[in-house]
Structures are given as structure tokens and as C-alpha cells.
Amino acid sequence: MSPIRLLSTDFDGTLIGHPSDGRCSPAFAAALRRHHAGGGLWAVNTGRGLDHLIEGIEIFSPPVLPDFALVLERGIYRRTDGGWEAHGEWNASCRQRHSDLYREAGELFGEIEQMAAESDNTITILYEDELPSGFVTSDEEVMERAARRVARAAEKLPEFSFQRNFIYLRFCHRDVHKGSTLGALCRQENIPRDEVFAVGDHYNDLSMLDGTHAGMTACPANAIEAVKETVRKSNGYVAEKPWADGVAEALEFYGSRQRQPDGIRV
């Protein structure tokens, strides 16, 4: 079995639980040290923006800092001695695709804004540069209904999609998500799929857990059922422990497979 060259982890709900103090667990800290000592790289693949992720990492206080930050499910940044810098041409390509898509989505955005206006304040539209970028709902039940309605409305604009996580939803191009962004990073770094390990817990992680961009997949015990099903279908590992301890458990599982002479799953 191939070694883990790149570890791609979601952040909220995967490494840190809710509620929690946001700190790195001892088990994950130890697993991360072993991964780093073996030459492995670490990318945090998150729906957070870069500044918000940096704040979270400072609280998390891992023994090793991430090598890459994949933020807003579409931006790739590399850690340097001077801070974080945009890495490769993927970011510019994504901005252009989103700009082209948004020019065509005026009618759809009108329908979404009308949905929010009729929601009795249970749906709040989020904006970037005066354009809708997504929305937040009062609870997950409202999100489920709203997501279904947006999916139906978007059928007339095939390239329009969205990523959702708990009560947050972000509009996006259908080809831009955590999976395709992970794939772009691997192409830039010349990392083969079989040497990539991805772990996540919610709907917006599905695209990096279906086996397309990562040869090794996993989820913590607290993952939603759709994630667990996707991980099982990609011959991945569903941990018995939640959050970062579950990630550490999965890393140990794949490490034990690497130590098996024939690579047999144990």
C-alpha cells in the first residue's frame, strides 16, 4: 500500500467538535507528528476563509502547522516563511468561472432572495461584493428544506451548484468544490491519488471522499450518514471515535495497512 504523502483534513466537525475548546487532541497531535516525521504534508480543506482558518489553527495549536490551506472550498494557499500565499493558477481560474456563472444567475438569485424574504427570518442571505454568496439558516431542518428548493430552482442553470455544512450553504460552480480543489493541489505538487488521505464529516466533504481525488478516505464517528456511506463505498475507514481522535484512529489504521507485507486490510 502507498504511503500517505498528503493528509487532507476538514476542520470544523472533523478536527474540532461542537461544542469544544477548539484545541488539538493529544491523539491527533501524536499522529500528526508521526506523519510529519515521515515526510508527509498536511492540507486543511475547509469552508472557512483564510483569516478565519488562521484564527482556528492558532486556537487548535497543532504540533505541526499545515503546509497548505484550501479555503472557501476553492482557494489554494501555501504556507511560507512570510505567511500564506496563493499557490498556482487554480484560484484565478475559479474566480473567473464564478464571475461568468454569477452573470447568468440573476434570475436564480432573485428566487433565492424571495425565498429568504418569505422565511420569517429563518434564512439569512450572505453577500460578497454585493452579490449573494450563500445563506445561513436558523437550524438544520430549515436548511434541508431550503437546499431542496434551491436545487430545484437551479435545474435551469446546470453549472450552478452549492456546498452545505450544518446551517451554512455557499453557492458555487458545479466543478469547484473540495474534491476538485484537492485534485488541483495534487497536480501542482505532483502527488498521485494513491498517496492522498482525505477525511471529513459533512455534505461539503463528499467530493473529496468518493475516491476520485484520494486513494485513502475516512470519517470520524460523528460524521453524517451520507458521509459514512460515501466512505464505505470508496473502501475507506469509518472511525469508532469522534472528531480529531477519529482522524488519529484512521491514520493508525492506514499506517497498519502499510506495515502489512501484503497490504491486506486488518
Tens digits of per-residue pLDDT, 108-145?
999 999 999 999 999 999 998 888 999 999 999 999 99
Q: Strands 160-165, 168-173: parallel, antiparallel or unpaired by DSSP? A: antiparallel
Mean pLDDT of 54-61: 98
Residue 138 C-alpha cell reads as: 436558523
pLDDT band at 230; cut points 50, 70, 90: very high
pLDDT band at 228; cut points 50, 70, 90: very high
Mean pLDDT of 196-216: 98
- DSSP-assigned letters across all residues of 132-157: EEEEEESSHHHHHHHHHHHHHHGGGS
Give whichever of 12-16, 100-104, 254-258 has the largest mean pLDDT.
12-16
Mean pLDDT of 64-90: 96
257: left (phi over 0), alpha (psi -120 to 50) or beta: alpha
pTM of structure: 0.92
Mean pLDDT of 189-213: 98
Scan for cell 502499510, then name that residue: 258
Strands (E), the chain: 6-9, 41-45, 68-71, 75-80, 83-86, 123-128, 131-137, 160-165, 168-173, 196-199, 216-219, 237-238
